[in-house]
Each structure stands twice: as C-alpha cells, then as structure tokens.
Amino acid sequence: MDAADVEGDLVEILFTEAEIQDKLAEMAARIRADYEGEDLLLVGVLRGAVMVMADLSRALDRHLEMDWMAVSSYGSGTKSSGVVRILKDLDTDISGRNVLIVDEIIDTGLTLSWLVSNLSSRNPRSVRVATLLRKPEAGKVDLDVAYVGWDIPDEFVVGYGLDFAERYRNLRDVGTLAPHVYS
C-alpha cells in the first residue's frame, strides 16, 4: 500500500521505502561484521517486526536462522500496559546461541526489556537488540540496543509493520498517523 492510498490519515511521511531499505542495509553491514564467523539466530517480535525481519535477513547475505515470538503488552490500546504475556514462544533452543532480537520500534522499552531478560535466562551465548525505530523520549527503562535505524519523536507512527488496530502494517513507508484517526 502506498502513502497516497491513505493520504488523509497521515500527517507526514517520516521515511520512505527506499530510505528504509538503505538503513536496513547499513544495519546489516554492522551486524555482519559483529557476527563474522559466528552463528546467528534472529528472533522476530510478531507481528510488527515481520517487514523489518524479512528485509534485514535478506540484507545480511549470510547463513542464519530465524524464529518468532509473539508477546503482548498493548491489548487494543495505543500505550503499553507494562504487563507482558507470551502469546507464541520460540520453537528453537537458544542455549549457547547468539540471539539478535529484531523489532520494528522501541517505545517505552518495557516489553523489550522483559523479553531480553526472559531470553537471557535461557542460557544463550549472547542476546542483543536491533530495531528500525526508537523513541528515546518515551523510554521508561535503560535498554541497551545494539542496532538502531533511527531515533524518532514520541508520536504515533504507522507503516512498514507498524499498525493502528491492525491497519497500516502494509504501508510501504513510515508515517505519522493523524490524531483524528485514533482519537
């Protein structure tokens, strides 16, 4: 879906599809260098990370494995509740493995902090985080993020996996959602 298809719903386009692909290629180059000669398991956080995970994994140009987790702390709202539930756990044993959690956005960091702690308790070799977007102003916990595409203002954004009420995920760009849509 193109931005023109939802033009009245967006305040502005923050990043185009081409800019996102370029940023993921930059992130992939750093990840490749950091994990040179080592195994790597990407763990995507469903559902939002699907687009980022797919494109990042293709940009990595190396053998890797992928698995998925689904966790929830939002319900149907627009703000994290802080209570995390595992809706789908990993199928892969991560003991002794290098795990790279891939997410599309870090908002408060509460859910991701919980996820890092949970996965770290499973005896991996390492656990690191990669995210396309981060909202530093919204952060409520100190979270070490190894790979960040962009820091953005604390605004409601959609597209490229990011949704509002399960809509806009397939928007090719990332844009700021107009308040009249979610008010």
As a whole number of Å, the end-to-end CA separation of the chain is 23
Q: Is 107 a catalytic residue?
A: yes
Q: How many helices (H) and strands (E) does the chain have?
A: 4, 9
C-alpha dihedral, 40 to 41 to 43 to 49, nearest 10°: 50
Give the distance, in angstroms, between the CA of residue 112 and the centroid of all CA atoms in the same chain.
10
Q: What is the largest CA-CA distance in the chain?
A: 50
The active-site residue out of 9, 55, 103, 107 is 107
Give the residue numbers marked as catalytic: 107
